[in-house]
Structure 1
């Protein structure tokens, strides 16, 4: 499997192979996926590698610098697939750690979201604040402790508490 990924020049096959590796996590897979983080030929491959390492496997240290770069946007990611994965990774990272710069960037991206990106970004920010996946089911239609206004307020309070 790992050799097939190394040799693959078929982008659709590569994406499928990385999905399989994401589920099976064979030895050496972290290094292989790290090499695909900057895969400019297909941002979806890079996004999948980032999501797998940062969210599924919790290898935050290995993807931290790339996540920061992707949050700021990459020239070769015109649709924002990699940035979206970075937003998700940032939310999960911040569930377990404090990082003022990362939190501030996630808040800014969330508050600047348009109607196409708002739900995803508010979900990531809510995850950073401790929301479970169950808490977020139907987030866009609910008004409660995980409403958009409440998420914004809690995020700004956390930023003030941890970073002032």
Structure 2
């Protein structure tokens, strides 16, 4: 069973980082032969990234549904993310080639991604009675007390009177 952190904690990460959201949507559930190979590709890429400490991947979460599947990844930098995406020796480049071919040939599935460049002082987090999740996997968890008690405090947008 997943361990739950009692109480409220906030995650902090040193410096800038990248949030990369990537996912797929199954449009035609019965066309399993078209969408399932794409679905299987992401876990293999994540295994590859986790096995390489220099890859730049800090952590990730997955949200799997019936039609919509999403992975939220935390990266050291956009350069590291781009380096992996373009590396012809990695799983990503060939997977994108056949994924794009499947999508062009069939209406069974669609894919998407979003990339956010985050400055080290321009985010805040709170986790209350949760297992380690999200940025908490990539950063360090601290009790949400003092200035960490409120969103404005965590963003350093307030004085001590907000606590």
Higher relative contact order (Cα pairs below 8 Å, separated by 6+ residues): 2
More strand by share: 2
Scaled by the length of structure 2, what TM-score is found? 0.27
Question: Which of the two has greater helix per residue?
Answer: 1
